[in-house]
Structure 1
């Protein structure tokens, strides 16, 4: 399983979500793609996961789209409304930069843009949804960049974020283990694989892990669970609040994160044990299904940011997560945190820390 991607070792992967395109202003981290990718390589990473906006490219290669922020306090994506244009051209240029530096790219769709909601919701058939990915891969292939793509994650944290996923009478997505959702995801994969049979595919997941035993992963090439120390259902780390169900409020966020650190420091060995237990569970499940694991969002707590907060305890937990995942031998690609990106200088600036963890992933410090 360690060599699922055929690179001779597990890969170290970072998550750059939609930030690669939305945070291009001065000081936002991605104003210079060549510099950002060069620094990624300096830190020992092999790959990066991004949102290529397949739904926007399906609407128009060259159009302009107004993007609203998803998180006010977190640093993923723009923290203010912006407009992006020529998304395909930007994507291809970013892929060229990655190709230049030998960095592989995992594609993952968030489908978070309000202007595309109505379009995506009209994709009634899973084959229609697969087609927007097929069309995107064909454009990437035509540009000579197909070999830069590591995998396709059809939907981030499926079935959340996806308006065309099967829904119940209340309008909420049906559970992943429902017959309808299982059939939908399998048909999507079948349609895509009919055109690109060699491209590894998955749907990443982040919740309701108790359903995994009942789920059919027969057509998935690998599992991409997002695993955090506080995803065990304990609830005590859920300090961040929503305002009107839309975005996170900055002051509540800062207070919550400070409280999170205090809670962790009351019993750090306990919380490390909680994380280790979850990793062991996923490894056991992967062995039982003979399926590789990839994890790109992970280890400490889900939300954090700069705003004067201490990163030491977060890094401590991330070290535990990486080391435990490596020990299992079940992961084909491993992230080091949710914050392995230049807009998080508290995490990004420590080159030696990143190198130690990517060396561990590569088997140099097991």
Structure 2
């Protein structure tokens, strides 16, 4: 099912696009060797990244050297996205992403880590550049041609890695992250053909895509072209209940923010209209909304966590059942097709940067339930949590990560006996 040179189990840290958007002086990925050393210290053997194939090998006339700016300056003197996860990018430096990509693969090899290659480019990556060139170039690609262009880009990338002797550091390749939540067409037709074409070009490699929400009740609708069952297992439960009350993820809501959201904001938060929004092209280049940016930038994390903790008991059993059902549904689909299952993201959902619910006792219990369920279902790889990476506060909980990664790898060893 998996190439012999790869680990029996993948314990994955979700580095996403942050390895190049948080690489300024003093930031988590400024020193790749240090970041990999910390990753290995915590027990991981894999990192999942946005390899930015359209920028680095897309043949679209783009310069792979970009100025990183984040979402831009806000009218209060701060930065848009400062209270969010992944979007809290201060920027202020230039980086050659293609050159850095080779440095990352070389560092991964030195530290015994394999890398999952993906693209977030039709979901958010170009929004952090100082100019819209990257976004304009990839947005100009006709919708129906985007999988073909992605496949051709990865083809050139994998060939370049092979020429440098780096191909064995690649765990597998995803045409794109969360094809159901990105600006790409439905995967089943053109996406499936692009996967088959790329795999034929690189027969030693596993090629797939990933889904943000597996159709676990209708897995027959998923294309059998996927060579890795890479599905994300989020069980929103209590988080969804809160988000529905505060209408955080919508756009253009009359009267936003409502009273429920106002009750969770920090004292002195500006009015939504006064705060404004990032430049229009940045919002076009990402799937988040201006209401999310405002809300997360001014949420009081203590109030947010208190609401979730108060209401979690009413949702706990449902969330545990839902998580198990999704994992099991994907595992059965993978087993029937003889492909490995990977959970590249999980477990609760998108929370404020300094919210601690998922990192606290309730969230860790839920994560452990997901990890152990996935192990029993035979998953090849999994994250401990989407927030367990160098650019998140959860990275500081070294003991828990070591313990859970140890459990994953011990389970792999037992299964091999």
User: Structure 2 length normalisation: TM-score?
Assistant: 0.74
2:239–2:348 contact (8 Å) kept in structure 1: no
How far 1:110 moved relative to its partner? 0.5
In the TM superposition, what whole-angstrom CA distance separates every residue of 1:191-241 from its partner, at most 9, and x where no partner exists?
Answer: 3123212211111001362574342432211111110121x7993153672
How far 1:78 moved relative to its partner? 4.2
2:217–2:329 contact (8 Å) kept in structure 1: no
Name the residue aligned to 2:31.
32
1:323 is paired with a residue of what secondary structure?
helix
Q: For 1:20 and 1:207, locate their aligned partners in 2 and report how far apart those are by CA, in whole Å.
A: 25
1:45–1:358 contact (8 Å) kept in structure 2: yes
C-alpha distance 274-215 of structure 1, shift in aligned 2 (>3 A): closer
Q: For 2:315 and 2:189, locate their aligned partners in 1 and report how far apart those are by CA, in whole Å.
A: 44
Structural RMSD (CA): 2.9
- Are residue 286 (structure 1) and residue 293 (structure 2) matched? no
In the TM superposition, what whole-angstrom CA distance separates every residue of 1:306-359 from its partner, at most 9, and x where no partner exists?
Answer: 257662322221111111110111x111110011112223x2122221122112
Q: For 2:81 and 2:215, locate their aligned partners in 1 and report how far apart those are by CA, in whole Å.
A: 25
How far 1:96 moved relative to its partner? 1.3
How do 1:1-366 and structure 2 match up within 5 A? 7=6, 9-57=8-56, 58=58, 59-60=61-62, 62-65=64-67, 68-69=70-71, 71-80=81-90, 82=92, 84-111=94-121, 112=124, 113=126, 114-124=132-142, 125=145, 126-162=147-183, 165-166=184-185, 176=186, 181-207=187-213, 209=215, 212-230=218-236, 235-238=240-243, 241-242=248-249, 244=251, 245-246=289-290, 247-248=292-293, 249=295, 250-252=297-299, 254=301, 255-266=303-314, 268-306=316-354, 311-329=360-378, 331-345=379-393, 347-364=394-411
1:151–1:201 contact (8 Å) kept in structure 2: yes
In the TM superposition, what whole-angstrom CA distance separates every residue of 1:134-185 from its partner, at most 9, and x where no partner exists?
Answer: 12222323333222111111111004333xx33xxxxxxxxx4xxxx42201
Q: How many residues end up aligned between the 2 structures?
A: 347
2:205 is paired with a residue of what secondary structure?
coil
- Between Structure 1 and Structure 2, whose CA radius of gyration is higher? 2
C-alpha distance 297-71 of structure 1, shift in aligned 2 (>3 A): farther
Q: For 2:6 and 2:152, locate their aligned partners in 1 and report how far apart those are by CA, in whole Å.
A: 29
Which range moves more in the overlay, 152-161 or 102-111? 152-161
1:209 is paired with a residue of what secondary structure?
coil
User: Structure 1 length normalisation: TM-score?
Assistant: 0.83
In the TM superposition, what whole-angstrom CA distance separates every residue of 1:78-108 from its partner, at most 9, and x where no partner exists?
Answer: 4345554311111111221111101000011
Write 1 or 2 for the structure with the bigger share of helix.
2
1:147 is paired with a residue of what secondary structure?
helix
Which range moves more in the overlay, 66-75 or 200-209? 66-75
